Each structure stands twice: as structure tokens, then as C-alpha cells.
Amino acid sequence: MSKNVLLVGAVLAALIPAGAYAQSGGAAAGAATGAVGGAVVGGPVGAAVGGVTGAIVGGIASQQQPEFREYVTTQKVPSYTYKEEVRVGAVLPSSGVTYYEVPAEYKVKGYRYTVVNNTPVLVEPKSHKIVQVIR
């Protein structure tokens, strides 16, 4: 038990510097968020899995999300009506949905965005899977 506590402490201590750099968003922010969340739920193993999962998702940093929502609003992107819950992991159809490039200033590479049920989302282009819901 004490080894687990020490390991969790070491993992969290290692994340503090990562959190300072994570403000620019992208994979670093996703990794730090995922690792902390994983540590809370699953201890050291959860931190490792959460960090990897968060790094894969990356996405738009939380402080940039309001700005990105405003950008999407100014683009007047039509909203796709989706009958299921708009959530991370949901797979959108390959036809009927238009996917758009994310502007470079948001530092999100490899993803596209669209609007689903009036909510901007980031999507992995090949699988059409939602990787981030912009609230």
C-alpha cells in the first residue's frame, strides 16, 4: 500500500512541470489532464493509461474553447442533426456531415471540426469519431 502511495506521489509530482507547459493545449494538455484523472480513479496504473489516452486525444485547450466556439459561430457552419448523444467516442456518419479544417492558431493537427446539434466538436477524419466536444 505504501509503495502505491509513493508511486502516486511520484507520478503527480512529475505532472506538475507538465501542467505548466500544458497551457498551450494539444497533446500535452490532454496527457496531463488524462494522467491526473486516471490517477484519481485508478492509482498509478490509471495515471499511466489516462496520460496516454489524454495525449492521443489532445484537442483544443480549455482556455481556447470559448474563442473557438466564437470562431465557429462566425463561420456560420450548418449544424448536423444527430439523433444520439453528442459525446466523445460517438461516431458520425461518413456522408451528410461536412468536416472543416481547424485553424492553425488552435494548434490541433490531424483533426477536423463540425457542428452537431448546435455544438462544435473535433472529429478524427478517418473514423469520424468525436474526440472532443467544445462546450
Residue 1, pLDDT score: 52
Is the pLDDT at 45 greater than 70, yes or no? no
**How far apart (Å, rounded) are the C-alpha atoms in residues 107 and 70?**
16
In the structure, what pLDDT confidence band is assigned to residue 19 with cuts at 50, 70 and 90?
very low
Q: What pLDDT digit, counting tens, does each position of 75-134 carry? A: 999 999 999 999 999 999 989 999 999 999 999 999 999 999 999 999 999 999 999 999
Indicate whether 53 and 66 sit together in one domain: no
First to last CA, the chain: 39
Domain that residue 12 falls in: 2-57
**How far apart (Å, rounded) are the C-alpha atoms in residues 26 and 47?**
18
Q: What pLDDT digit, counting tens, does each position of 59-77 carry? A: 999 999 999 999 999 999 9
Indicate whether 47 and 92 sit together in one domain: no
On average, the pLDDT of the chain sits at 75
Indicate whether 69 and 126 sit together in one domain: yes
**How far apart (Å, rounded) are the C-alpha atoms in residues 96 and 112?**
15
Select from 57, 73, 91 the last residue of a domain. 57
- Count H helices and E strands in the chain, helices first: 3, 5
Residue 34, pLDDT score: 53
Contacts of 77 (CB under 8 A, 6+ apart): 98, 100, 114, 115, 120
From 20-29, 44-53, 83-92, 121-130, the region with the lowest mean pLDDT: 20-29
Is the pLDDT at 55 greater than 80, yes or no? no
